[in-house]
Amino acid sequence: MIYILCLILFFIGLYGIFCKKNLIKIVLGFIIMENAVNLFLILLGYKNNGIAPIMTKSMRLDEFLASSVDPLPQALVLTSIVIGLAVTALMVAVAIRIYERFGTFDITEIKRLKG
């Protein structure tokens, strides 16, 4: 169920990128899409009533494995959030520069390149 919500979120982002005409809205669509994938990744490691994946001396190994959440997706998501931040920052910076040159955020008016 929650995976379907993830997918819906992903498609909302995709819709924003393809159908919106404002540069900032495209960037927002991109952020939504990226977060949908991050959410999906983090859900892969989720367990109901799971514990943090830190093993203490009092735990047995099989018990620990059965109850702890998967730590790998969390590490991956942290990396991918950082990458996403870099892309978003670059996108916003370019969008601001485009606004300086063209005086608009509307992509139908920004079309000097074609052919």
Partner 1 sequence: MNTLPYFVLIPLAGAFLVVFLNVLTRNKVRVISEILANVITLALFIMTIFMFNKSGMYVIGKWVPPLGINLVLDGLSGLMLSIVNLIAFTATLFSINYMRRYTANNYYYALFLLMLAGMNGVLLSGDFFNLFVFIEIASIASYALVGFGTEADELEASFKYMVMGGIASTFILLAIALLYSQFGVLNMAYISEAIANSEFNILLKFTLFLFIAAFSVKAAIIPFHAWLPDAHPAAPAPISAMLSGVVIKTLGLYAMIRVMYNIFGFNGGNMLAYMGLISIMVGGLLALGQMDMKRLLAYSSISQIGYIILGIGLGTKLGILAALFHLVNHSVFKSLLFMNSGSVYHRLGTRNLDEMGGLNKVMPITGGTSLIASLSISGMPPFNGFFSKLLIIIACIQSGHTIFAFWAIAGSIFTLAYYMKMQRYAFFGSLKESYKSIKESPFFMSVSMIILAILCLATSFLLIPQLRDAVLTPAVEVILNADTYKALVIK
| Residues found near partner 1 in the complex (CB under 8 A) | 10, 14, 17, 23, 26, 30, 33-34, 37, 40-41, 44, 72-73, 76, 79-80, 83, 86-87, 90-91, 94-95, 97-98, 101-102, 110-113, 115
User: In degrees to the nearest 10, what's the CA dihedral of 76, 79, 84, 86?
Assistant: -170
Cβ of residue 22: shortest distance to partner 1, in angstroms?
12
Cβ of residue 89: shortest distance to partner 1, in angstroms?
10
Cβ of residue 95: shortest distance to partner 1, in angstroms?
7
Residue with tokens 């859900």: 43
Contact 43, 6 (CB under 8 A): yes
d(CA 38, CA 77): 6
